[in-house]
Amino acid sequence: MTPLEQAFMDENWGAPVRIETAKDHPTLIVAPENLLNISRRLKDDPKFHFDLLTDITAVDHLHRAPRFQVVYHLYSTRSARRVRVNLFLPSEQPSVDSVTPVWPAANWYERELFDLFGIHFRGHPNLKRLIMPGRWIGHPLRKDYPLGGEEVLFSHNRGQIEQQVIPWDQLEDEAEVYEEIDLDQAKTSGFIGTVPESETQVNPMRLDLNMGPQHPGTHGLLRLVLHLEGEVVRDVEPHIGYLHTGIEKSMERLSYPQALTMTDRADYVSNLNNNLAYCMAVENLLGLEIPLRAQYARVILNELERLASHMVWLAALSFDMGVMSAFFYCFELRERVLEIKNLCSGVRMMTSYITVGGLRMDLPNGFHEKVQNILEPFPDKIGELEKMLDDNPIWIRRLKGTGKLSPEEAIAWSVTGPPARASGIKWDLRKSNPYSCYDHFEFDLPLGSEGDNYDRYRVRMEEMRQSLRIIRQALDRLPGGAFRSDDRKVVLPPREELERSMEAVIHHFLISSDGFLVPPGEAYAAVEGPRGELGYYIHSDGGNKPYRVKIRDPSFAHAQAIPVMARGGMVADIIALIATIDPVLGGIDR
């Protein structure tokens, strides 16, 4: 029993609380009516201090009572410990207290559950659909909601299947049904901040501006409704869901190895980081040991992906700030990383190269040289870019002092990764909760002090240098040996064995067609992605398909925090702000 579990045991909760030892971290099972009290205790008691709400999600146990399970993942930035809080709700009118008074970041997470599961959160300030269109019928992530889609057309069923018809001219355009916000109602709900009494009068300077979902500055299909006072931003309302892909629902229909391909397409700028987080969660449930060579290779690949991702970020940021030439420099550097991914897997982006058990194939010939080719010129190239940008007074004036985020706000809104470090929070999962042998390498955490756009830019630039440092160490010390686990129930047998052993052929066939069985349970694994904490929560029922997968994407929390950073700034600052927090809509909407 860990000290944390002991502390939970010893605590007098004043309510029935069951403590379970899960495979990853302790789990508290509470009654729905005690949730708010226990949440406050978990956050405010210095013994626990779970100040950061990582994620809220739900699982639908159809045909079982109680039907709904709501899962809270909490993190303590002080002690780097995690805890999971579970509670169960009945099938009829599932409803539980909102935890927005304790963790403001719960707002969107609860709205998402209301939208996709139909769970009601009492006391939520603005319980509306978040992902699906406003007038959508049904809750897609419930198990009795069909996956939908269209039957695949083959030559034998031509003419027999019904083609999906999109009445595009009848579909609701969200922008059209946008209603003027009711200020009185908004004020009481606290949704758009507190508006002083004098400001609720009619003001000719007041303007509501719709930005997105198609806008070159929103980096994807993000829609912001800006409430302006002249040029000053009074408030921002982000709307998401324009790229909702149903990835989580689709994953429930795929075997574990097949579902891996979906993870590439969630946050599509950091594919390998997604692969790793998913594989770590599955490996955790399986209790699989990963050979050292695979761990080191995973570190190298993840850091290379971070470089590629930051290059897209810098390209987009500089493009938005009007520095078109930096865009070309960045994409040229990114191509070098893509060459390595291409060499490893034959694909430029969606590699699925990191698999459950290790890597899909051993690192190819010429991998070392290719990585060396990146390591040598990259620092100079970063310096070149910095010189190009930092010597430009427009660059400095647009980034410095704009889009500020204080460390307290960052924690309250679950901001992680580079934006949190730019606000001065010394926290990186690679340091605080090392995974995949990150503790074998030396690197520093670049920190900012102001939490403004410029700090976020600086932190990411320095991070690239640290990534290069990690890659260099891992490449020098890359051990030989197996590149994947030798558990034949999970990983494919080596190619040469297929010619000799019938058993190997059977295993190969079974794993390729059916996947493998994963013991029942739940696991959450997170990596430090280029944008922040990127986690996968997997709930297994013992079958060969995940019963429920939840992708905890950092951009989701960051998009929610846009209003906090944008209030009081100018319209032009919003462009810089979106670019520096680097949201990827594929991850936000999933």
Partner 1 sequence: MTAPLDKAVHWAQRSSLWPLTMGLACCAIEMMSMVGSRYDIARFGAEVFRGTPRQADLMIVSGRCSMKMAPVVRRLYDQMAEPKWVIAMGTCASCGGEFNNYAIVQGVDKFLPVDVFVPGCPPSPEALIFGILKLQEKIAKGSPPAYLRKESS
Q: Name the residues that contact partner 1, by CB under 8 A.
A: 132-133, 140, 145-150, 152, 164-166, 168-169, 171-175, 213-216, 220-221, 241-247, 249-250, 261-262, 265, 268-269, 312, 315, 327-328, 331-332, 334-335, 338, 348-350, 585-586, 589
Q: Is 530 exposed, middle or buried (0-12, 13-18, 19+ CB in 10 A)?
A: buried
Q: Is 49 exposed, middle or buried (0-12, 13-18, 19+ CB in 10 A)?
A: middle
CA distance 42 to 136: 36
Shortest distance in whole angstroms from residue 589 CB to partner 1: 8
Shortest distance in whole angstroms from residue 574 CB to partner 1: 16
Shortest distance in whole angstroms from residue 6 CB to partner 1: 44
CA distance 39 to 414: 15
Which of residues 172 and 182 has its CB atom nearest to partner 1 in the complex? 172
**φ/ψ of residue 150, rounded to 5:** -140, 140
The closest of 213, 204, 255 to 238, measured between CA atoms, is 213
Shortest distance in whole angstroms from residue 239 CB to partner 1: 10
Shortest distance in whole angstroms from residue 547 CB to partner 1: 17
Shortest distance in whole angstroms from residue 534 CB to partner 1: 16
The answer to whether 136 touches 145, Cβ cutoff 8 Å, is: no
- Tally of CB atoms within 10 A around 410: 27
Which of residues 349 and 475 has its CB atom nearest to partner 1 in the complex? 349
The answer to whether 20 touches 26, Cβ cutoff 8 Å, is: yes
CA distance 416 to 420: 5
Shortest distance in whole angstroms from residue 243 CB to partner 1: 6
Which of residues 166 and 205 has its CB atom nearest to partner 1 in the complex? 166
Which of residues 146 and 287 has its CB atom nearest to partner 1 in the complex? 146
The closest of 45, 29, 105, 100 to 78, measured between CA atoms, is 45
Which of residues 360 and 458 has its CB atom nearest to partner 1 in the complex? 360
3-state secondary structure 249-267: HHHCCCCHHHHHHHHHCCC
Which of residues 478 and 572 has its CB atom nearest to partner 1 in the complex? 572
Which of residues 216 and 568 has its CB atom nearest to partner 1 in the complex? 216
SS3 234: strand
